[in-house]
Amino acid sequence: MEIVLIRHGKPASADNAVVGAAEYTKWIRRYNCSDVATDSRPDTKDVNKKSCYVVSSDFKRAIHSAHIYTGKSPELISELFREMEIPRYKLPLTLKAMTWVYLCRVLWMFGLKGSFESYRLAKIRAELAADKLIDLATINSKVVLFGHGYLNVYIRKALMKKGWLLKSKSNAFWGVTNLKSK
């Protein structure tokens, strides 16, 4: 059995503008609703597209990535595979958007609460996502998930704790992480 985790392509809205807290919240909304940029395309030699069951997050950039990569719609689209929340805190700062992401994620990981999924619940969801992928791999032999950078890291960790062997990994846009059962 094989599970392949592919991070979506670079979103069309992935600019790194300098923004305040209110603009940062709007930036996240645009990012979460974005298609893949027209100049972001994968090296599709990494995965044999014909013999796999395709799964995707329900975010537009992941579904679009699956279609670009395989030429078809995913067999399963689920919010279970959504990216871990990009937290947003109303801090009196003006920063580059990606600096906001890193700063807010650190605060989130340290337990700062907000009106979004907690870090603890996001890690539990990653475990559930890993279990779902294992169930699908048991039926389909090879499963390819078009997902997101941060969640894919936690799914990978969960699969490895369950005995899956890491064959390759990449967290870049279009990055391919390949795991095989023992």
Q: Provide DSSP, 10-52.
A: PBTT----EEEHHHHHHHHHHHHT--B-TT----GGGS-STT-
In angstroms, the CA 51 to CA 134 distance is: 16
Domain boundaries, given as residue ranges, for the chain: 2-180
Q: Taking the model in full, what pTM does it have? A: 0.94
Tens of pLDDT, residue by residue over 85-127, are 899 999 999 999 999 999 999 999 999 999 999 999 999 999 9
Query: Could you identify the residue written with the tokens 């044999």?
Result: 48
In this prediction, residue 9 has a pLDDT band, given cuts at 50, 70 and 90, of very high
CATH superfamily to which 2-180 belongs: Phosphoglycerate mutase-like (3.40.50.1240)
pLDDT above 70 coverage of the chain, percent: 96
